[in-house]
Amino acid sequence: MIDSNYSGRGNVYPKSIQKLIDLFIKFPGIGPRQASRFVFYLLKNGGVDELIISLEELKKIGNCEQCYRTMEKKGGLCSFCSNSKRDPLIIAVVEKESDTQNMEKTGAYNGLYHILGGVISPLDSESPKKLHLKSLHERIKSLLDKNGKCEVILATGATTEGDMTALYIDRVLAPLKEHFKDLKISRLGRGLSLGSELEYADEVTLKNALANRK
Amino acid sequence: MIDSNYSGRGNVYPKSIQKLIDLFIKFPGIGPRQASRFVFYLLKNGGVDELIISLEELKKIGNCEQCYRTMEKKGGLCSFCSNSKRDPLIIAVVEKESDTQNMEKTGAYNGLYHILGGVISPLDSESPKKLHLKSLHERIKSLLDKNGKCEVILATGATTEGDMTALYIDRVLAPLKEHFKDLKISRLGRGLSLGSELEYADEVTLKNALANRK
Amino acid sequence: MIDSNYSGRGNVYPKSIQKLIDLFIKFPGIGPRQASRFVFYLLKNGGVDELIISLEELKKIGNCEQCYRTMEKKGGLCSFCSNSKRDPLIIAVVEKESDTQNMEKTGAYNGLYHILGGVISPLDSESPKKLHLKSLHERIKSLLDKNGKCEVILATGATTEGDMTALYIDRVLAPLKEHFKDLKISRLGRGLSLGSELEYADEVTLKNALANRK
Amino acid sequence: MIDSNYSGRGNVYPKSIQKLIDLFIKFPGIGPRQASRFVFYLLKNGGVDELIISLEELKKIGNCEQCYRTMEKKGGLCSFCSNSKRDPLIIAVVEKESDTQNMEKTGAYNGLYHILGGVISPLDSESPKKLHLKSLHERIKSLLDKNGKCEVILATGATTEGDMTALYIDRVLAPLKEHFKDLKISRLGRGLSLGSELEYADEVTLKNALANRK
Q: Specify whether the CB–CB gap between D206 and B102 falls below 8 A.
A: yes
Q: What is the pLDDT of residue A12?
A: 84
C93-137 pLDDT tens trace: 999 999 999 999 999 999 999 999 999 998 889 999 999 999 999
Q: What is the pLDDT of residue A10?
A: 56
Side chain identity at residue D75, one-letter code: G
pLDDT of B63: 96
The per-residue pLDDT for range B5-45, each reduced to its tens digit, is 444 445 789 999 999 999 999 999 999 999 999 999 999 99
For residue C6, pLDDT beyond 90: no
* Averaged pLDDT score across all residues of chain B: 93
| Residues C48 and C117 reside in one and the same domain | no
Contact D16, D39 (CB under 8 A): no
Q: Residue B195: give its domain's CATH number.
A: 3.40.1360.10
D48 CB contacts (<8 Å, ≥6 apart)?
C55, C58, C59, D42
Q: Is there a single domain that holds both residue D121 and residue D46?
A: no
Res D9 pLDDT > 80 = no
Best of D90, D192, D205 to mutate (most B CBs within 10 Å, chain B): D192
- Best of C164, C188, C212 to disrupt the A interface (most A CBs within 10 Å) is C188
Run of H or E residues at A208? helix A203-211
State whether D158 and B105 contact (CB < 8 Å).
no
What confidence tens digit (pLDDT) does each residue in D64-93 have? 999 999 999 888 999 999 999 999 999 999
**HSE-up (13 A, CA, CB side) for residue B76:** 15
Nearest chain D residue (CA) to B195: D159
Q: Are residue A152 and residue A198 in the same domain, yes or no?
A: yes
Please tell me which chains touch D, using 3 or more CB pairs under 8 Å as the contact test. Answer: B, C
The answer to whether the CB atoms of C27 and D38 lie below 8 A apart is yes
D5 lies in some domain? no
Report the amino acid identity of residue A28: P
Query: What is the structure's pLDDT at C122?
Result: 87
User: Of all helices (H) and strands (E), which one includes residue A187?
Assistant: strand A183-187
Give the whole-angstrom CA distance, residue D11 versus residue B192. Answer: 46
Mean per-residue pLDDT, D192-203: 94
Count of CB atoms situated within 10 Å of the CB of B138: 10
3-state secondary structure D189-204: CECECCCCCHHHCCHH
- List the single residue in A16, A58, A97 with the smallest CB-CB distance to B16: A58
The string of DSSP codes covering A13-48 is: SBHHHHHHHHHHHTSTT--HHHHHHHHHHHHHH--H
D93 alpha carbon, distance to own chain's centre: 10
Which of D178, D92, D180, D87 has its CA nearest to residue D142?
D180
CATH of the domain at A20: 1.10.8.420
User: What's the confidence (pLDDT) of residue D4?
Assistant: 42
Whether A165 and A130 have beta carbons less than 8 Å apart is answered as no
Q: What is the pLDDT of residue D74?
A: 87
The reply to whether B120 falls in a domain is: yes
The band of D10, judged by pLDDT with boundaries at 50, 70 and 90, is low
The runs of H, that is alpha helices, within chain D are 15-25, 32-45, 48-58, 97-105, 127-130, 134-147, 160-179, 203-211
Residue C31 confidence (pLDDT) above 90 = yes
Given A58, A85, A111, which residue is the final one in a domain?
A58
Task: Give yes or no: residues B19 and B107 share one domain.
Answer: no
**C·D CB contacts under 8 A:** 176
In the prediction, which pLDDT does C150 show?
Answer: 96
Percent of residues, chain A, with pLDDT higher than 90: 89
C-beta of residue B152 within 8 angstroms of C-beta of residue B140: yes
Are B92 and B140 members of one domain? yes
Q: Measuring CA to CA, how many Å separate C127 from each of B78, B123, C116, C139?
A: 70, 45, 11, 20
Output the pLDDT for position C2.
41
**B143 in the same domain as B88:** yes
Looking at the structure, tell me whether residues A53 and A96 fall in a common domain: no
Query: How far is Cα C117 from Cα C97, in angstroms, rounded to an integer?
Result: 8
Helix (H) or strand (E) holding C187: strand C183-187
* Percentage of residues in chain C having pLDDT higher than 90: 90
The minimum CA-CA distance between B43 and chain D, rounded to whole Å, is: 32
Which strands sit side by side in the sheet containing A183-187, from one edge to the other?
Answer: A111-115, A87-94, A150-154, A183-187
| DSSP H or E segment with residue A115 | strand A111-115
pLDDT of residue D122: 87
B211–D189 C-beta distance less than 8 A: yes
Within-domain flag for C32: yes
Average pLDDT score over chain D: 93
Looking at the structure, tell me whether residues B39 and B91 fall in a common domain.
no
Read off the pLDDT of residues A125-171 as tens digits, 9 standing for 90 and up. 999 999 999 999 999 999 999 999 999 999 999 999 999 999 999 99
Of A38, A58, A78, which closes a domain? A58
What does the pLDDT average to over A182-206? 95
**pLDDT tens column, A42-73:** 999 999 999 999 999 999 999 999 999 999 98
Nearest-Cα distance to chain C for A17, in Å, is 33
Q: Which of these ranges, B127-136, B176-185, C4-13, D194-203, has the smallest mean pLDDT? A: C4-13
Residue C7 lies in a domain: no
Q: Determine the residue type at A127.
A: S
**Residues of D in Cβ contact (< 8 Å) with B199:** 96, 98-99, 102, 157
* Contacts with D78 from chain C: Cβ below 8 Å: 3
**Contact state of C3 with D27 under an 8 Å Cβ cutoff:** no
Cα separation, C41 vs C184, in Å, equals: 51
Of A144, A153, A135, A155, residue with least CA distance to A183: A144
Q: How far apart are CA D210 and CA B48, in angstroms?
A: 42
**Which residues of chain D have a CB within 8 Å of the CB of B204?**
194
Please report the pLDDT score of residue A77 as a whole number: 96
Going by DSSP bridges, is the β-strand pair A70-71/A62-63 parallel, antiparallel, or unpaired? Answer: antiparallel
Task: Select from B97, D177, D168 the least CA-distant residue to A14.
Answer: B97
Give the integer Cα–Cα distance in Å for C45 and B84: 62
- Rounded CA-CA distance C143/A5 in Å is 86
In angstroms, how far is CA D75 from the centroid of its own chain? 20
pLDDT in tens, D130-159: 999 999 999 999 999 999 999 999 999 999
Check D48 against C55: CB less than 8 A apart.
yes
Mean pLDDT score of chain A, rounded to an integer?
Answer: 93
Is the pTM above the cut of 0.90?
A: no
Set of chain D residues whose Cβ sits within 8 Å of the Cβ of B108: 207, 210-211
Same domain, C164 and C185: yes
In a domain, D107, yes or no: yes
Mean pLDDT of A111-117: 97
Structural domain tally of chain C? 2
pLDDT of residue C153: 98
pLDDT of residue B6: 41
At D155, the amino acid letter reads A
Facing residue for B15 by CB, picked from A72, A100, A105: A72
Identify whether the C-beta of residue A60 lies closer than 8 Å to the C-beta of residue A70: no
Measure the CA angle with vertex A22, ends A19 and A23; round to 5°: 90
- The answer to whether the CB atoms of B42 and A50 lie below 8 A apart is no
Is B115 or A10 the better-scoring residue by pLDDT?
B115
**Among chain D residues, CA nearest to C20:** D54
Q: CA A195 → CA C45, C196, D178, distances in Å?
A: 40, 14, 68
B105 and B50, same structural domain?
no
Q: Point out the domain boundary residue: A7, A23, A58.
A: A58
CA distances from D104 to C10, C63, D68, D92, D162 (A): 7, 47, 16, 11, 20
Q: Is residue C10 included in any domain, yes or no?
A: no
Average pLDDT value for residue range C2-25:
74
Report the C-alpha gap between D117 and B131 in whole angstroms: 50
CB pair distance less than 8 Å for D27 and C41 = yes
Q: Do B55 and A52 touch (CB under 8 A)?
A: yes
**Predicted confidence (pLDDT) at residue A8 exceeds the cutoff of 80:** no
Across the interface, do A95 and C207 touch by the CB < 8 Å criterion? no
> Is residue D164, in this structure, part of any structural domain at all?
yes
pLDDT of D55 higher than 80: yes
Q: Please state, as a whole number, how many other Cβ atoms lie within 10 Å of the Cβ of residue D208.
A: 26
pLDDT at residue B122, as a whole number: 87
Cα A69 to Cα A97, A188, B109: the distances in Å are 6, 21, 53
- Is C168 found in the same domain as C135? yes
Q: HEC states along C109-171?
A: CCEEEEECCCCCCCCCCCHHHHCCCHHHHHHHHHHHHHHCCEEEEECCCCCHHHHHHHHHHHH
d(CA C130, CA C133): 8
Distances in whole angstroms, Cα of residue B68 to Cα of each of B77, B87, C77, D22:
9, 17, 80, 62
Asked if residue C200 lies in contact with residue C209, where contact means CB atoms within 8 angstroms, the answer is no
The residue range of the domain holding C125 is 70-211
- In this structure, are A82 and A160 located in the same domain? yes
Residue D3 is assigned to a structural domain of this protein: no
Could you tell me what percent of chain D has a pLDDT over 70?
A: 95
Inter-chain CB proximity B214 and D109 less than 8 Å: no
C-beta of residue A173 within 8 angstroms of C-beta of residue A137: yes
Close Cβ partners of D32 (under 8 Å, ≥ 6 residues apart): D21, D25
Residues B109-143: tens digit of each pLDDT: 999 999 999 999 988 899 999 999 999 999 999 99
Q: B186 has which bridge partners?
A: B153
Position B132 scores a pLDDT of: 97
